[in-house]
Amino acid sequence: MSKHILIIGAGVVGLSTAYYCARRGHRVTVLDRNGAERDGCSFGNAGMIVPSHFVPLAAPGMVALGLKWMWNPESPFYIKPRLDADLFDWAIKFWRAANEEHVRCSAPLIRDLSFASRALFEELAALPQTDFGLVTKGLVMLCKTQHTLDEEAKFAARANELGVPAQVLDTKELAALDPAVTMDVSGGIYFPKDCHLTPNRFMAALQAECERLGVQFVWNAEVRRLAALGDQLAAVKTEQGEFDFDELVLCGGSWSPLLARELGLKIPIQAGKGYSLTLPKPPQLPQLCSIFTEARVAVTPMGSSLRIGGTMEIAGLNEDINPVRVQGIIKAVPKYFPKFTPQDFDGIKPWRGLRPCSPDGLPYLGRTAKFTNLTLATGHAMMGLSLGPITGRLVSEILSGENSATDITMLSPDRYA
């Protein structure tokens, strides 16, 4: 039965949801608080599709590492100290989730979702007029020190046990794998099933497919009020008027908790600010995407350009650019790629985006108990692009009353209710 589905948020999760709902014959309207020419989290990210990232952000050692890094303003992870009850609550929940049992339970689900999403990216890339630069050559975790390489080798063994192929490579093997870039590292871990793409091209292609399927977009439509009638939501009031619907999907990224709170729902999320710089003419252009393991910096070739991004800055819904954090990224590059210099980044404007981070590192995905016609799809942190298509498909199955082959009980939006 066809329904009218209203989606709040036109990021990668919102567009993916719109696409798969429209494919199932539903009438779909997407609202976004920004204009059509937006540059949010889905556009300036590293463009990586990463089955290799099966460990959630909340993992053993992350709390200690975070506390160590907090005192260095250039470090990969930073929490801006502030008196904020929501931040304190999130931090306590993160601490509780950062244990081995949580990783053991979460890893198979994240792996399955990642591989399913990768397959959907390949399906989308095969559609006519949807060239978004999908490259399926894998990803390399580059390790500056032997100690890090030894630690990552243990992770590679775990990945292989879980069915995620991983190979430990020495410097000669790395040079043979990607001869286009000079590396100064001890070795690396190669994940052949990872991929990369150009995010803004992917977003444009997905939006064009949505429009072709009849999806209606309403821009500059910041939500002012959500009207409820018993256990159903009845209308959404925005700056562009009032909208009714059969089903409402909240894909509002880092802004989702503001709307959820209005409905009496608790979905703890902190905005994790990330930065990127895109070099149009880099000194060298690697063929594979990579991550500088110690520096937590991601490097992705996008056509003839090279995007370099990183940091996780927990500072609220604050979109200001902190130049000290950007310098931390720039300083890391020549340590791994010695043909690059900090001067290569002169005049390059940094991009920033706010990633919605749940305290346990898992997205919120599914229906709520409180409202029978509300579904949440948010909280993907750094995995929003990677898990976008599978999230959209799962939401479309939920709204169509289909039984999914994937058990997503762990992702329940009511888990902190």
165 and 235 both lie in a single domain: no
180 and 83 both lie in a single domain: yes
Tell me, what's the pLDDT at 414? 98
177 and 213 both lie in a single domain: no
Tell me, what's the pLDDT at 67? 75
| Of residues 289, 276, 277, 342, the one with CA closest to residue 180 | 289
Which tokens is 224 given? 């002012």
82 and 145 both lie in a single domain: yes
Round to whole Å and give the CA distance between 152 and 147: 9
The CATH number of the domain holding residue 232 is 3.50.50.60
Residue-wise pLDDT tens digits, 125-182: 999 989 999 999 999 999 999 999 999 999 999 999 999 999 999 999 999 999 999 9
Give mean pLDDT, residues 232-258.
96
Tell me, what's the pLDDT at 319? 92
Q: Is the pLDDT of residue 71 over 80?
A: no
89 and 119 both lie in a single domain: yes
| Percentage, residues of the chain above pLDDT 70 | 100
Which tokens is 156 given? 């590679």
pTM, entire model: 0.97
- 64 or 235: whose pLDDT is higher? 235
147 and 54 both lie in a single domain: yes
For residue 417, being part of any structural domain is answered with no
Per the prediction, the chain carries an average pLDDT of 95
Total tally of structural domains belonging to the chain: 2
Q: Which residue has the tokens 């110690």?
A: 294
Tell me, what's the pLDDT at 341? 98
Give mean pLDDT, residues 195-212.
98
Tell me, what's the pLDDT at 72? 78
Round to whole Å and give the CA distance between 214 and 210: 6
Query: 153 φ, ψ to 5°?
Result: -65, -35
Residue-wise pLDDT tens digits, 262-310: 999 999 999 999 999 999 999 999 999 999 999 999 999 999 999 999 9
